[in-house]
């Protein structure tokens, strides 16, 4: 089921819901959507079958959500502001929060800003993807600016290809990318809830997940097969999230 909810400024943002039970918010990655990240590959259905109501917003500038071209629609940390508006609008007090890549970054910024999920899952993220986002953001802005000139073999080629597949609004995406700031490691002390850091065994796109796990007060790490992109298409991602949320105490810590 898909409905519309108002972002922090009233912008119409799409949210997809499946299942019934404990509330679980899933946040997708950059240039992706709830459909591509969570629904297409079966993760949402798996988690719904495990007893969760899965709530999956399309982030601002993505999927079926608004992609305004007005710079005033993109204040600093706009995605965290939209996330807080969703949690507030749905009246959630006891819920779990999971994000992949940009979604993980958004989840972190949301918690630092005051959200209090009972449990947290950070997928496709390492310490440098939070503390060194400025360089990562510059990479994607450059990919947008050189969109029509990027050829096969260029480091930006996979990002440009994915933007083409997802029919990304590049004006909105560029504005959105400028709203992100680095998250200093000392700010991560706010993430005191049980947390899973889950990454593909070939994924270092956002830095070292082991370093992120060590920087968090109450985190464990899981390694699944795949790269940053391919691990999303494998069932292992949904299974790792499910197993952690069902009982985080039984997840082995991987050094």
Q: How many CB atoms lie within 10 A of CB 235?
A: 12
**Residues 26-50 pLDDT 10s:** 999 999 999 999 999 999 999 999 9
pLDDT of residue 255: 35
Is the residue at 138 inside a domain? no
**Residues 141-154 pLDDT 10s:** 999 999 999 999 99
Given the structure tokens 């007005």, which residue do they identify? 70
What is the Cα–Cα distance from 16 to 122, expressed in whole angstroms?
20
87 within 8 A of 214, measured Cβ to Cβ:
no
- Quick one: average pLDDT of 155-172? 96
Is the residue at 38 inside a domain? yes
Confidence band (pLDDT; 50, 70, 90) for 251? very low
DSSP class of residue 250 equals G
pLDDT of residue 8: 97
Angle in degrees, 0-180, between the axes of helices 102-112 and 78-90, rounded to the nearest 10: 70
Q: What is the pTM of this model?
A: 0.95
Is the residue at 169 inside a domain? no
Least confident range from 177-181, 237-241, 247-251: namely 247-251
Is the residue at 139 inside a domain? no
What is the Cα–Cα distance from 100 to 228, expressed in whole angstroms?
10
3-state secondary structure 118-166: CEEEEECCCHHHHHCHHHHHHHHHHHHHCCCCCCCCCCCHHHHHHHHHH
* Residue among 124, 108, 105 nearest 43 (CA): 124
Q: How many domains does the chain have?
A: 1
Confidence band (pLDDT; 50, 70, 90) for 181? confident
- Quick one: average pLDDT of 197-204? 97
51 within 8 A of 45, measured Cβ to Cβ:
no
**Residues 102-137 pLDDT 10s:** 999 999 999 999 999 999 999 999 999 999 888 888
Residue 248 has pLDDT above 80, yes or no: no
Chain centre distance of CA 117 = 15
Is the residue at 146 inside a domain? no
Supply angle C-alpha 208, 210, 216, rounded to 5: 110
> Which structure tokens are listed for 142?
């450059």
Is the residue at 93 inside a domain? yes
Is the residue at 147 inside a domain? no
Is the residue at 168 inside a domain? no
> Which structure tokens are listed for 143?
């990919």
Given the structure tokens 């600016």, which residue do they identify? 145
List of E strands, 7-117: 12-18, 22-27, 52-57, 96-100
* Residue among 152, 140, 160, 163 nearest 62 (CA): 163
The residue segments making up the domain with residue 7 are 2-131+182-248
CATH code for position 118: 3.40.50.1820
213 within 8 A of 243, measured Cβ to Cβ:
no
């Amino acid at each position: 089921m898909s409905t519309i909810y108002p972002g922090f400024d009233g912008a119409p943002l799409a949210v997809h819901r499946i299942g019934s039970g404990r509330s679980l918010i899933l946040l997708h990655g950059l240039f992706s959507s709830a459909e591509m990240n969570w629904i297409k590959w079966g993760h949402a259905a798996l988690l719904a079958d495990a007893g969760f109501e899965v709530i999956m917003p399309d982030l601002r500038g993505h999927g079926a959500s608004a992609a305004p071209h007005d710079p005033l629609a993109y204040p600093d940390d706009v995605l965290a502001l939209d996330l807080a508006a969703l949690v507030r609008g749905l009246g959630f007090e006891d819920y779990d929060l999971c994000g992949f890549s940009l979604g993980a970054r958004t989840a972190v910024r949301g918690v630092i800003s005051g959200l209090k999920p009972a449990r947290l899952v950070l997928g496709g993220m390492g310490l440098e993807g939070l503390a060194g986002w400025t360089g990562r953001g510059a990479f994607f802005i450059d990919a947008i600016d050189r969109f029509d000139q990027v050829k096969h073999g260029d480091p930006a080629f996979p990002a440009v290809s994915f933007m083409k597949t997802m029919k990304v609004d590049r004006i909105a995406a560029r504005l959105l990318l400028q709203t992100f700031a680095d998250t200093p490691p000392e700010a991560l002390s706010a993430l005191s809830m049980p947390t899973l850091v889950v990454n593909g065994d070939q994924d270092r796109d956002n830095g070292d997940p082991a370093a992120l796990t060590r920087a968090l007060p109450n985190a464990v790490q899981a390694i699944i097969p795949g790269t940053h992109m391919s691990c999303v298409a494998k069932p292992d991602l949904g299974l790792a999230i499910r197993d952690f949320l069902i009982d985080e105490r039984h997840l082995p810590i991987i050094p």
